[in-house]
């Protein structure tokens, strides 16, 4: 158990819908990262927050957005969902941007 929690574990929804994925970092970690893992794209970095502020952006679509709240938990919002958004979404956290990241168990999103 990495100490990073993600909810829900599984999510099944339809195209065009909007969903919110939630992540609670390890106690003491200020950085939160979101990743998307799909069969064709591999593991892709989406976005990073540090202590509530956006720190870095990767291959995140405009339909996706994220935020980190004062209590340091983070949410990833996915809207206008398409079939290709079906993937495993990981959250990871670290103390600072320089430290190793610890991953949550992931949320498996299925868009039908």
Partner 1 sequence: AQKITQTQPGMFVQEKEAVTLDCTYDTSDQSYGLFWYKQPSSGEMIFLIYQGSYDEQNATEGRYSLNFQKARKSANLVISASQLGDSAMYFCAMRYSSASKIIFGSGTRLSIRP
Binding site for partner 1 (CB under 8 A): 2, 33, 42-45, 48, 55-56, 58, 88, 90, 92, 96-98, 100-106, 108
Residue 77, both tokens: 């919002």
Residue 85: φ, ψ to 5°: -85, -10
CB of 37 to partner 1, least distance (A): 9
70 vs 98, beta carbon nearer partner 1: 98
Whose Cβ is closer to partner 1: residue 4's or residue 19's? 4
Q: Which of 50, 59, 37 is nearest to 93 (CA)?
A: 50
For partner 1, which is the closer residue by CB, 61 or 88?
88
State in angstroms the smallest separation of the CB of 47 from partner 1. Answer: 10
CB of 13 to partner 1, least distance (A): 19
Q: What letter would DSSP give residue 27? A: T
Q: Is it true that the peptide bond before 16 is cis, omega within 30 degrees of 0? A: no
Q: List phi, psi (to 5°) of 48.
A: -130, 140
3-state secondary structure of 84: helix
Least distance (Å) between residue 16 CB and partner 1: 27
């Amino acid at each position: 158990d990495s100490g990073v929690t993600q909810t829900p574990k599984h999510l099944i929804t339809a195209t065009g819908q909007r969903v919110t994925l939630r992540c609670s970092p390890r106690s003491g970690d200020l950085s939160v990262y979101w990743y998307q893992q799909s069969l064709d794209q591999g593991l892709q970095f989406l976005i990073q927050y540090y202590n509530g502020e956006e720190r870095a952006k990767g291959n995140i679509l405009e339909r996706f957005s994220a935020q980190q709240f004062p209590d340091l938990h983070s949410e990833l919002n996915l809207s206008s969902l398409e079939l290709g958004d079906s993937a495993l979404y990981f959250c990871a956290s670290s103390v600072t941007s320089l430290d190793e990241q610890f991953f949550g168990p992931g949320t498996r999103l299925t868009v039908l």
